[in-house]
A and B are shown apart, each in its own frame.
Chain A
């Protein structure tokens, strides 16, 4: 069963050329997908359309057979964990702990589970020492780790990560790799957008290349 389906979707930003034209694609729940392509080709736009952040000019988008137009962002967020391209745009709580706990609270966890899960992920990404620090003053890499911890802790069925390795050192990239392998073992799917060829090739079983002429190269590895 397809997890997400884009059906003849067209989209363009105001006063710019069309980003996606009559675009159709399906993603399955257990797939590990890499979306690649040149800067500005529409990778992040495609993701934003899938999540209902952007509305297509024409065509339909379905998430688990539900038309995304009839879903709130919160409903989409409960099914998909989305890691923004820039962590500065995703951090809203003043501390790392609160950032993680917020999503857990709205995923229905009780206070005890929230504390346990949050502490586990803080430890996992080695950010326990900044648990109660003011997140907005952290380094890029630390912010990225807070966001990854917040997204992964919620345990949604599907994840989308836009440039997840940016700002991470090798040790942290390895930790993220381990995490993605665990997700695959748990039969959870994900989409990664990245320019890090080695990282992306190590984790995906399907590659979607967005081309300049608007076509795609979609192949299973």
Chain B
């Protein structure tokens, strides 16, 4: 199923993540989250991978929802225990925040089904300046490198005997600075090396460049983009009526 053009996928992601911010009704948000999840599952190699990816962010989602629930004091009171006041508006916002994050994350997974190189070609086909596209490409390529650097530093710090759970806040802060330092330094060093390598290979030597694989929108891509435009418009109109 992973045969849509990256531009079609990009349209889907932009529409869904915009809707995540626009919608104010829980039912509509649930519908969009379901659509987003369904598309991600359709495009992703396996449903299991999505669920595994989502599992790690569940505590974060719950914290976000809980903070809305506890600190949003507008609306009608539905529960009070000492200073803890729960209102209907707080409850609604709490649920909406979780749904919004779910929509954004699941729609972002759609982009994860596309390789960085393919996305770069697609962005260039959208007439974006190649320098900007190249920066985005390099940025994406840096993410796993950053991840590896953090993991290595974390391992090195722990194997040097530092138990991250058992020390004071001051010590913990110092340890986290140590963990972050190699990643930042490595990123800067790599950026320098990539810049030199790119220039050695004639980067920007000519005003225009060609691509080995040019992206071409097919009928199914047009249908996908049209469907997403219809969904977006309908959701915005429906949202206006519900609010």
A interface with B by C-beta (< 8 Å): 51, 53, 72-78, 80, 82, 84, 88-94, 102-103, 106-107, 136, 150, 154
Contact = CB atoms under 8 A, between A and B. Distances in A.
A106 B162 contact: yes
A107 B186 CA distance: 28
B156 A74 contact: no
A154 B161 contact: yes
Given A91-B182, A92-B181, A136-B182, A73 B159 contact: yes
Interface string B176-203: 0011011001100100000000000000
A45 to B, nearest CB: 14
Contact of A73 (B158, B166, B186): B158
B159 A72 contact: no
Contacts of B161: 74, 77-78, 103, 106-107, 154
Contacts of A154: 160-161
A202 B181 CA distance: 38
A77 B160 CA distance: 6
Interface string B134-172: 000000000000000000110111111111111000000
A102 to B, nearest CB: 6
A53 B152 CA distance: 10
A75 B163 contact: yes
B156 A106 contact: no
A88 B189 CA distance: 12
Contacts, number: 64
B182 A92 contact: yes
Contacts of A78: 161
Contacts of B178: 92-93, 102
Interface residues of B, number: 21
Contacts of B189: 136
A72 B179 CA distance: 18
A89 B154 CA distance: 10
Given A73-B155, A136-B189, A94 B160 contact: no
B163 A92 contact: no
Interface string B92-118: 000000000000000000000000000
Given A76-B159, A92-B182, 20 more contacts: A72-B163, A73-B158, A73-B159, A74-B159, A74-B166, A75-B163, A77-B158, A77-B160, A82-B159, A88-B182, A88-B186, A89-B155, A90-B152, A93-B181, A94-B181, A103-B161, A106-B160, A106-B162, A107-B161, A136-B182
Contacts of A93: 178, 181
B155 A103 contact: no
Contacts of B155: 53, 73, 89
A74 B182 contact: no
Contacts of A94: 181
Given A94-B181, A102-B178, A136-B185, A89 B162 contact: no
A91 B160 contact: no
Nearest to A77: B159
Contacts of B156: 84, 89-92
A92 B153 contact: yes
A171 B44 CA distance: 55
A103 B160 contact: yes
A74 B163 contact: yes
A113 to B, nearest CB: 15
Contacts of B160: 77, 102-103, 106, 150, 154
